[in-house]
Structure 1
Amino acid sequence: MKATAGLEFYDLTAVWGHGMPEWPSSVGLRVNPVLYHAKDGVSVAEFDGIMHRGTHMDAPVHVTEDWPTLTGYELWRFFGTGVAVSIPKQRWEVITAEDLENARPRIRPGDIVMINTGAHRLFGDNDDYYAYSPGLYDEAAQWLVDRQVKLVGIDTNALDHPLGTKLISHGPGPSHPHLMDEYRAETGREAMDDFPHWEPAHKILMGNGIPGIENVGGDIDEITGKRCTFMAFPWRWTEGDGSGVRVVAVVDPVGTFRIEQGTA
């Protein structure tokens, strides 16, 4: 956290670079320094990899053909007031509409919403974060649309629960067929029965113009339970299917206290 002019600034972004954790089955990030101070007097590196890594947002076209690219989002959605809410969840638990309704501070129309499940503390090259995390699904996504929120961020690997992705038999999946066997052994139910839709939170949110930020982390615990000002802008990439973003929260301690006293 950095304070200036009475305001407190918090970085909600995961560290980006060589060796960073990757979505299972994604192409790895390769970073190659090409110019050096000792040799060239400057420092320059090139990288090769997709934009769907670390703290990033998808474009609608990422999940549905002929939908808008990154520049199809309206700029006003990337800046504004909102809340960081604690919705603690464990392995494979689903965030529900009731969870969002009961979250505090209350989620208001026009809010930017950052959801803290606690999963960001597991962020790393491991199955606990990528294969067994909690997540949003269709019911919660529709609640956020109905509440007319401006933008959604979550501290999990994707907008959707992992069992709503290609890890199991959705789309080009299953990339991780063993998860269906594990789910059956653990719950006595079929994963495809409990999660019949392919990435519904992506499609419901982005289909209604609401950007979703994945892999939120950094200082999120420090602002959870507060009403903040948020900002996060993707690249102005006209053909872009996704973009890394730097997510920043700003807290005015005096102003925030007055708001919460009146609305909590």
Structure 2
Amino acid sequence: MCVPGCQETVARRLSRRGLLKGVAGVAAGAAAFTAFPPPRAAQAQPMSFSKVVDLTHDLMEDFPTYFGQPGLEMERMTSFETDGFNMYKWHLVEHTGTHLDAPIHFSADGKTSDEIAVDQLVVPLAVVDVREKAAADPDYQVTVEDLKAHEEAHGPLPEGGCVAMNSGWAAHVATDKFRNADADGTMHFPGFSKDAAMYMMEKGVVGMAVDTLSLDFGASKTFDTHYAWLPTERWGIECLAGLDEVPATGATLVVGAPKIKGATGGPSRVIALV
């Protein structure tokens, strides 16, 4: 079941699309595109690594989901004992487990998962640590000030790269605190603020990643960060694991995104080369 306000917000967004026809709508769209053109892939650099970190949670039928309903069911089709080989049929919601948000997920005509250029899926990674702030405030949103502080300590955000939020929330994945829903069904977990997303776009960042269920903080009813980020041909990753093992800068992120034609995203094997 959708959290309060979710379906209404999406419906309002869809109904407004009809008002964007005509010269005024085209002009407004062109201005937004000019302000934040599609990101460029990071320029390939010689690299070496000594450790591979798996940033992917095990996906199980009871893995917590945004809507609170199972996102995966596995139906056995054959067994080794009776058929000589094992095989399952998956009944899968795209946005389940550690997964990709493709641009089309929150836009009318953005790229689908299979259309994301592969050179935008192997990129430099910056990890912004907000664990203390998130522990004090589960509704915490990464701010522009957090990003600037990270740059002051570790250098510029990577153009053509990905910025990940480490809120410490991955530690709660096996408990109710991962969704952290109150009596009204509103969830409380950290995310990126819209202003932070806009700042990262100015810096040419291509990917945004979180260790929670949403790029937006859990209590959001308007999904401002999703709507600001994804329509500019950028992608997101939700439900990351293992960020404690990755340095603030210097790692390379490898996103094994699903290459399913027309997909709005999907479970992905995500690793960091350190």
Q: TM-score range by the shorter chain?
A: 0.7 to 0.9
CA drift of 1:95 comes to 1.1
CA drift of 1:80 comes to 2.1
- Which residue pairs with 1:258 in the alignment? none
- The correspondence of residues 130-149 of structure 1 with structure 2, limited to 5 A, is 130=180, 131-149=187-205
- Measure, in 2, the Cα distance between the counterparts of 1:27 and 1:123: 14
- Which residue pairs with 2:217 in the alignment? 161
C-alpha contact (below 8 Å) 2:190/2:218 kept by paired residues: yes
Q: In the alignment, which of 76, 93, 98 is matched to residue 119 of structure 2? A: 76
- Which residue pairs with 1:112 in the alignment? 162
C-alpha contact (below 8 Å) 2:120/2:160 kept by paired residues: no
| Alignment length (residue pairs) | 214
CA drift of 1:163 comes to 2.0
Query: What is the CA deviation profile of residues 26-80 of structure 1, one whole-angstrom value per residue up to 9, with x for unaligned ones?
Result: 4542112221111111110111121111110122222222333223322221002
- Measure, in 2, the Cα distance between the counterparts of 1:27 and 1:82: 31
CA drift of 1:214 comes to 0.4
- Measure, in 2, the Cα distance between the counterparts of 1:199 and 1:6: 36
TM-score scaled by structure 1? Answer: 0.75
SS where residue 152 of structure 1 aligns?
A: strand
Distance 1:98 1:32, change over 3 A: same
Greater Cα offset, 76-85 or 41-50 = 76-85
What's the C-alpha RMSD, in Å, of the aligned pairs? 2.0
- Which residue pairs with 1:126 in the alignment? 176
TM-score scaled by structure 2? Answer: 0.72
SS where residue 249 of structure 1 aligns?
A: strand
- The correspondence of residues 1-264 of structure 1 with structure 2, limited to 5 A, is 7-88=50-131, 89=134, 90-103=137-150, 104-106=153-155, 107-124=157-174, 126-130=176-180, 131-165=187-221, 198-217=222-241, 219-251=242-274
Query: Unaligned stretches of 5+ in structure 1?
Result: 166-197, 252-264
Query: What is the CA deviation profile of residues 134-166 of structure 1, one whole-angstrom value per residue up to 9, with x for unaligned ones?
Result: 11121111111111113221111111111224x
- Measure, in 2, the Cα distance between the counterparts of 1:128 and 1:249: 23
**Which letter maps to 1:201?**
T
C-alpha contact (below 8 Å) 2:64/2:178 kept by paired residues: no
